[in-house]
């Protein structure tokens, strides 16, 4: 059954591939629009690299979300082919009004029916074929499928970078992501090892590497510099040394102590053997792109994907640093303030400018470190003038109990002329500030019903 679904998705991607090739051959500049997070930047990177490999031309714009005003603006553009990555499935009507042909490479939950009849648009989204866009494949993966037949050097490594960015690789890699990893291993652009999953082993002294490690979260260490130093002192390791400079015996001591904290810390790690050390670990690479996006410097992220290094990487590392410090401060804030709890959900609210950009990440980390209640989904709410931006996060445990945040936020925002949706595990919405109380109550109610319904089915 799954095989069949994958087959349909791959066929649709081949259709897109042919369309892309046709326009490259006709020397048309391909107009790419993608999302500003790690998955979106990687997806754009995959498209641009493949087009370059085919000696084609492209023009990219990276946006935080696909606004109607932006779609209106590009209705005047004369491009013959538009490619939307990591977005577009929710905007089919406006997209069908564009002048050229269109490829949509998205993986967000979509309620739109498959629009096969619209000959101008090739719409690729795992959800159209009954696959799971949260776990099976990211937008980078979908983009990879589009260029799979066109690439002259495998881009599977970048597809995995994007999948990490959308947290599709935290446990085991499944579905089409698995197929992409196998492609990458075969082409030699990916390697796999069983290792300690510590972040930035090449960049940072050990105590910082550990404090910056969030996948998996290490209680008392992740996001906690002092806790991390104390932990290392306790097991007799010097905290200023880099992980890669530890001797074998020291590595064993560290491994044993960390596994005692969280067994998930030792496991499968993917790396890109030809990469510079800073970008060699796939998850680090992904975090670096994400930091570029969060600092509104997605151009630097995209340049890195295109192989332009040195200055770009150094600048990106500065963003990463800023982002990590911000994250640590944010976690301290949550520890101090806690969340506001309703019957079925909890929420955190901020007007702080720095904190706004990381509210989603803070909720995920907060849930994992159990400084937020892991039994309830979190809405992270930031005020933007007279609107609120909501990022919602939950755990796979709660999804198994019936929670679907994408639908909950989509439904709830309809009542307030807002916009919302996303994945079952992570979703977003924008609604008027004055309706915040009603909005959180309605989401609370919907999530309650989702869980109740799932219980009945059982
Ligand atoms: Mn994505």
Q: Are residues 343 and 315 in the same domain?
A: no
Supply the CATH number for residue 418's domain. Answer: 3.10.310.40
Where in 351-393 does DSSP place strands (E)?
378-384, 387-393
Q: Are residues 13 and 139 in the same domain?
A: yes
Q: Are residues 115 and 144 in the same domain?
A: yes
CA of 9 to the centre of ligand 1 (A): 17
Q: Is residue 171 part of a domain?
A: no
- What CA–CA distance (Å, rounded) separates 233 from 257? 12
Q: Is residue 168 part of a domain?
A: no
CA 427 to chain centre: 12
CA of 166 to the centre of ligand 1 (A): 6
Q: Are residues 182 and 243 in the same domain?
A: no
CA of 427 to the centre of ligand 1 (A): 11
CA of 107 to the centre of ligand 1 (A): 7
pLDDT of residue 309: 86
Last residue of a domain, one of 186, 221, 256: 186
Q: What is the 3-state secondary structure (H, E, C) of 68-108?
A: HHHHHHHCCCCCCEEEEECCCHHHHHHHCCCCCEEEEECCC
Last residue of a domain, one of 302, 330, 358: 330
pLDDT of residue 115: 67
- Domain interval for residue 273: 194-330
CA of 135 to the centre of ligand 1 (A): 11
Burial status of residue 313 (CB atoms within 10 A of its CB: 0-12, 13-18, 19 or more):
middle
- What CA–CA distance (Å, rounded) separates 361 from 255? 26
Q: Are residues 28 and 113 in the same domain?
A: yes
Nearest by Cα to 401 from 458, 444, 446, 442: 458
Supply the CATH number for residue 94's domain. Answer: 3.90.1640.30
CA of 113 to the centre of ligand 1 (A): 20
What is the mean pLDDT, run by run of 10 residues, along the chain of 458 residues? Answer: 87 98 98 97 98 98 94 96 96 94 94 74 95 94 98 98 92 93 98 95 93 91 94 95 94 97 94 96 96 92 94 94 92 95 98 90 91 96 95 94 96 91 91 97 98 86
pTM of the model: 0.87
Q: Are residues 304 and 372 in the same domain?
A: no
- What CA–CA distance (Å, rounded) separates 107 from 85? 9
Q: Are residues 353 and 413 in the same domain?
A: yes
CA of 133 to the centre of ligand 1 (A): 9
- What CA–CA distance (Å, rounded) separates 196 from 269? 8
Last residue of a domain, one of 330, 355, 378: 330
Q: How many domains does the chain have?
A: 3
Q: Are residues 376 and 420 in the same domain?
A: yes
Q: Are residues 240 and 289 in the same domain?
A: yes
Q: Is residue 172 part of a domain?
A: no
Q: Are residues 304 and 258 in the same domain?
A: yes
Q: Is residue 232 part of a domain?
A: yes
CA of 17 to the centre of ligand 1 (A): 20
pLDDT of residue 358: 87
pLDDT of residue 117: 67
Q: Is residue 110 part of a domain?
A: yes
CA of 40 to the centre of ligand 1 (A): 6
Q: Are residues 241 and 93 in the same domain?
A: no
Contact predicate 300/306, CB 8 Å: no
Q: Are residues 213 and 234 in the same domain?
A: yes
If DSSP codes are grouped into helix, strand and coil, which group holds residue 382? strand
């Amino acid at each position: 059954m799954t095989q069949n679904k994958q087959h349909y998705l791959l066929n649709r991607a081949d259709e897109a591939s042919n369309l892309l090739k046709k326009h490259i051959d006709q020397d048309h500049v391909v107009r790419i629009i993608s999302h500003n997070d790690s998955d979106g930047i990687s997806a754009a990177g995959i498209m641009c690299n493949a087009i370059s490999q085919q000696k084609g031309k492209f023009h990219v714009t990276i946006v935080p979300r696909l606004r109607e005003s932006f779609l209106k603006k590009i209705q005047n553009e004369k491009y013959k082919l538009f490619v939307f990555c990591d977005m577009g499935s929710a905007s089919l009507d406006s997209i069908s009004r564009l002048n050229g042909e269109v490829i949509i490479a998205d993986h967000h939950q979509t309620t739109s029916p498959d629009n096969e009849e619209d000959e101008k648009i090739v719409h690729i989204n795992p959800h159209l074929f009954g696959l799971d866009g949260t776990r099976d494949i990211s937008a980078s993966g979908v983009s990879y499928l589009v260029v799979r037949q066109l690439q002259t050097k495998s881009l599977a490594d970048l597809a995995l970078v994007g999948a990490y960015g959308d947290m599709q690789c935290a446990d085991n890699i499944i579905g089409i992501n698995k197929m992409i990893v196998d492609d990458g291993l075969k082409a030699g652009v990916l390697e796999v090892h069983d290792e300690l999953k510590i972040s930035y082993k090449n960049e940072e002294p050990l105590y910082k590497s550990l404090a910056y490690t969030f996948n998996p979260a290490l209680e008392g260490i992740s996001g906690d510099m002092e806790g991390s130093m104390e932990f290392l002192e306790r097991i007799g390791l010097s905290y200023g040394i880099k992980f890669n400079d530890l001797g074998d015996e020291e590595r064993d001591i560290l491994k044993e102590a960390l596994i005692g904290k969280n067994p998930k810390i030792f496991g499968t790690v993917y790396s890109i053997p030809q990469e510079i050390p800073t970008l060699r670990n796939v998850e680090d690479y992904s975090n670096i792109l994400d930091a570029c996006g969060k600092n509104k410097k997605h151009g630097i992220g995209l340049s890195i994907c295109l192989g332009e290094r040195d200055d770009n990487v150094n600048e990106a590392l500065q963003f990463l640093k800023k982002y990590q410090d911000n994250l640590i401060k944010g976690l301290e804030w949550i520890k101090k303030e806690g969340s506001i709890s309703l019957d079925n959900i909890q929420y955190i609210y901020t007007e702080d400018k720095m904190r706004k950009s990381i509210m989603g990440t803070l909720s995920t980390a907060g849930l994992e470190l159990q400084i937020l209640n892991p039994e309830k989904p979190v809405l992270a709410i930031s005020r933007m003038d007279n609107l609120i931006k909501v990022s919602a996060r939950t755990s796979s445990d709660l999804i198994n109990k019936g929670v679907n945040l994408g639908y909950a936020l989509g439904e709830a925002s309809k009542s307030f002329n807002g916009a919302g949706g996303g994945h079952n595990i992570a979703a977003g919405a924008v609604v008027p500030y004055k309706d915040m109380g009603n909005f959180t109550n309605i989401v609370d109610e919907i999530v309650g019903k989702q869980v109740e319904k799932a219980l009945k089915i059982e």
